[in-house]
Structure 1
Amino acid sequence: MPEETPRLAGKVAVVTGAAGGIGAASARRLSHEGARVVVVDIDGDGAQQVAAELPGPAVAVTGDVSREEDVENYVRAALDTFGRLDLHHLNAGITGPFEDLADLSVADFDRVLGVNVRGPFLGVRAAFRRYREQGTGGAIVITASIASLRGSHDLLAYQTSKHGVLGLMRGAAMYGGPIGVRVNAVAPGLVPTGLFTAAKDASGGGDDMIRRGTTVPLRRTGTPDEVASVVAFLLSDDAAYVHGEVISVDGGSAIVSSVRPSGGAGAWDTTAVDERSKETS
């Protein structure tokens, strides 16, 4: 049997926020699948390390995704190094402060939206400009969140930004469909990465995420690699008719009804449900 060609062979992909967490996992997965990868992060040393460890060709670019010139720079790096740009995983994001709504500053709110909404907008715009110049289609995945689909009173700026990401994705999908550019989003649930675990003492950060993970339907938190596998699918031709969608990677968290005795992920005693599952297994 001839060896199968990797499904992303010949493609050039940019991954933002790729120095760690989901972005680094995405860069690794896309590289394993045959793509040449542009590893972008504001942490230049981290980006260099990830790029150096990838199995295939890669280049690292230091950049702040909320700055037009930095987005133009990573596109230029892709063209200078690989000659084209086909796939985009616009993943970079920040949580912002764990402040109550009444104490949240305008500066902090604006900073989160700058990275989490303006950053993907600039990346999407750059992608469409490049596809137009190349005369090709392409594929884009934006990292949304379980926070894009539901509400909570904490991390208000983050919640707002992740809802905005879906508006951007859907508008870009409407624009891109007729010209052969697919745009989708992935919505991770509880996936411990440096983005949240750095806030060790905050409710919703650090070890608290592990505790809450025991109450989702799959009874655990997810991994960056599990999210990256969905990203790779959405960027590949295997998802050729998937467009304008947000795919949850959350262990079932999004299906939970918080007003039923059997639901309420993060705030309910799972003993009765778990005992029942043991009896039927």
Structure 2
Amino acid sequence: MGRLDGKVAIVTGGGSGFGAGISLAFAGEGCKVLVCDINAAGGEATVKSDPSSLAFHKMDVTSSADWKSAISSAIEKFGRIDILVNNAGTSYINKPTVEVTEEEFQKVFDVNVKGVYLGCNAWVPQAIERGEGGVIINIASVGATRPRPGLVWYNASKGAVWNATKGLAAEYGPHQIRVNSICPLVTGTGLFSAFTGMEDTPENRKKFTSNVPMGRIGEVDDVTAACVFMASSEAKFITGVNLEVDGGRCI
């Protein structure tokens, strides 16, 4: 038996990086997953890895209409939705804060914060109506609590997610809806260069490990394993937690 047998999830940003990894890890544990991404090619590539458990739905997380469509699609295909993973995120390239454009600022908050707001507003009512509880997992960042120069507004957006996670957990706990966030260290995904402002090479990765007790940057499966645990019944009494998956970076 899988740890998520009989469950259904929506995973945003499922076409690459953490989202693809989470979708496949959930499927491997018996979960049906609606893989949502604005990038159709990426989302469809994820689904091809396990077409019996995964289905693709193109969506923009900043669009309330797209969220309504995704909820309807998941219920139509799989009959229910137990888990929401708000993974879709974006950043601008690490640079002096006064050089961040208004457009870059707006995009970061639209995707990273508004996307979570719209997702929760779309998912929560059907979970309450079903009356069986559920799980929301938000992908935040170690930058939510340990911000550093160059990504001030990205980190602030993840700080908003960190705070909202606790508020949502308090508000919807009586409905047996658990809300937690995962706060990863910089990881070898497509956003490495944006976060660091340099090319993703072994040499450059080493520059970001001197203050990590475990001596490396993050890996996608570090995050996917944490998400599987948080979505499973093993975490049935854990809510309002912002779990740092960072090799000790935030100590």
With the length of structure 1 as denominator, give the TM-score of the two structures. Answer: 0.84
Residue 32 of structure 1 contacts residue 56 of structure 1 at CA under 8 Å; is this kept in 2?
Answer: no
For residue 190 of structure 1, what is the aligned residue in structure 2? 186
User: Residues 37 and 210 from structure 1, CA distance in 2 versus in 1: closer, same or farther, beyond 3 angstroms?
Assistant: farther
For residue 240 of structure 1, what is the aligned residue in structure 2? 236
More contact order relative to length (CA 8 Å, sep ≥ 6): 2
Shift of 1:104: 1.6
User: Residues 70 and 214 from structure 1, CA distance in 2 versus in 1: closer, same or farther, beyond 3 angstroms?
Assistant: same
Distance in 1, matches of 2:34 and 2:139, equals: 17
Matched, 1:134 2:134: no
Distance in 1, matches of 2:147 and 2:240, equals: 21
Shift of 1:192: 1.3
**Matching residue's letter, 1:23:** G
For residue 124 of structure 1, what is the aligned residue in structure 2? 120
Aligned-CA RMSD value: 1.7
Shift of 1:214: 5.1
SS of the equivalent of 1:212 reads coil
Residue 95 of structure 1 contacts residue 196 of structure 1 at CA under 8 Å; is this kept in 2?
Answer: no
Matched, 1:161 2:145: no
For residue 217 of structure 2, what is the aligned residue in structure 1? 221
Matched, 1:53 2:32: no
For residue 197 of structure 2, what is the aligned residue in structure 1? 202
Residue 35 of structure 1 contacts residue 56 of structure 1 at CA under 8 Å; is this kept in 2?
Answer: no
The residue correspondences of 1:1-281 to structure 2 (distance < 5 A) are 5-54=1-50, 56-197=52-193, 199=194, 202-203=197-198, 206-207=200-201, 208-213=204-209, 215-255=211-251
User: Residues 34 and 201 from structure 1, CA distance in 2 versus in 1: closer, same or farther, beyond 3 angstroms?
Assistant: closer
Residue 94 of structure 2 contacts residue 195 of structure 2 at CA under 8 Å; is this kept in 1?
Answer: no
Distance in 2, matches of 1:166 and 1:50, equals: 27
Q: Which runs of 4+ in 1 moved over 6 A?
A: none
Shift of 1:201: 8.4
Distance in 1, matches of 2:127 and 2:2, equals: 22
Distance in 2, matches of 1:71 and 1:17, equals: 13
Deviations 1:28-84 (A, max 9, x none): 110000000110111111101101202742110111111111111211110111111
Distance in 1, matches of 2:220 and 2:58, equals: 21
User: Residues 60 and 226 from structure 1, CA distance in 2 versus in 1: closer, same or farther, beyond 3 angstroms?
Assistant: same
**Matching residue's letter, 2:240:** G
User: Residues 200 and 139 from structure 1, CA distance in 2 versus in 1: closer, same or farther, beyond 3 angstroms?
Assistant: closer
Distance in 2, matches of 1:45 and 1:180, equals: 36
Deviations 1:86-144 (A, max 9, x none): 01111000012333211222221111000000001111122211212323210111001
Deviations 1:122-181 (A, max 9, x none): 111222112123232101110010101112121122111010001111111011111110
User: Residues 71 and 243 from structure 1, CA distance in 2 versus in 1: closer, same or farther, beyond 3 angstroms?
Assistant: same
Question: 121-130 or 98-107, which moves further after superposition?
Answer: 98-107
Residue 93 of structure 2 contacts residue 197 of structure 2 at CA under 8 Å; is this kept in 1?
Answer: no
Shift of 1:206: 2.8
Residue 90 of structure 1 contacts residue 141 of structure 1 at CA under 8 Å; is this kept in 2?
Answer: yes
Structure 2: gaps spanning 5 or more residues: none
Structure 1: gaps spanning 5 or more residues: 256-281
Distance in 1, matches of 2:84 and 2:206, equals: 30
With the length of structure 2 as denominator, give the TM-score of the two structures. Answer: 0.94
Distance in 2, matches of 1:144 and 1:150, equals: 12
SS of the equivalent of 2:207 reads helix
